[in-house]
Amino acid sequence: MHDDHDGPEDGDIVSAMPKIPVPDEVADAIRTLIRWAGDDPEREGLLDTPKRVARAWKEYCQGYGEDPAHHLSRVFEEVGGYDEIVLLNGIPFQSHCEHHMAPIVGKASIAYLPRDHVVGISKLARVLHGYARRLQVQERLTAEVADCIWQHLNPVGVAVVIEATHACMTARGVRTPGVGMVTSRMMGVFREDARSREEVLKLMGY
């Protein structure tokens, strides 16, 4: 998909990956996996699958090639005295678990209480995607997003809540569909003050 409005650096909608060369050892590894799963990598429908899978995984894991903190480098100080919560709610994302390399699909709510400057609101989503496009566990993803905002925006408080389903649980193992996992990280005033924490969670819909 391509976002005609924001350009290739946006990160909210990923442009199609170019057809990068696929090393022989990578394609061979995928052929081995196909055989081990019980199919024939030489049959017509699977001939091009190894290269497709390899390029897909380069796209799934493109977060390794960026520093999410870079998105927070440009801030705005002229905010008319605004000093209340800034919240981006229900940001959809997809990641892959590091244990089974199975999809993690969910949404995140990210909030911060600015001290003396703010950042463009889309940058919060870009920070999320920068970390999500790596092999992950949900707990670490939640902490990484919150810590990045805390360290680079110097806000009064940060709150991150992530709710997701894990294919390693819904499609294999216990095979329990419809079960979601919720993780949160509160920092600063949202951790120290119960009323502030209650306010931000209410705004998030929790």
Two tokens at 108? 């995140």
Two tokens at 94? 């997809």
- With H, G, I as helix, E, B as strand and everything else as coil, classify residue 111: strand
In angstroms, rounded to a whole number, what is the distance separating the alpha carbons of residues 84 and 58?
39
Pair 49, 32: CB distance under 8 Å? no
Pair 188, 157: CB distance under 8 Å? yes
Max Cα-Cα span within the chain: 65
Pair 63, 130: CB distance under 8 Å? yes
Q: Where in the sequence numbering do the catalytic residues fall?
A: 97-100, 138, 166, 168
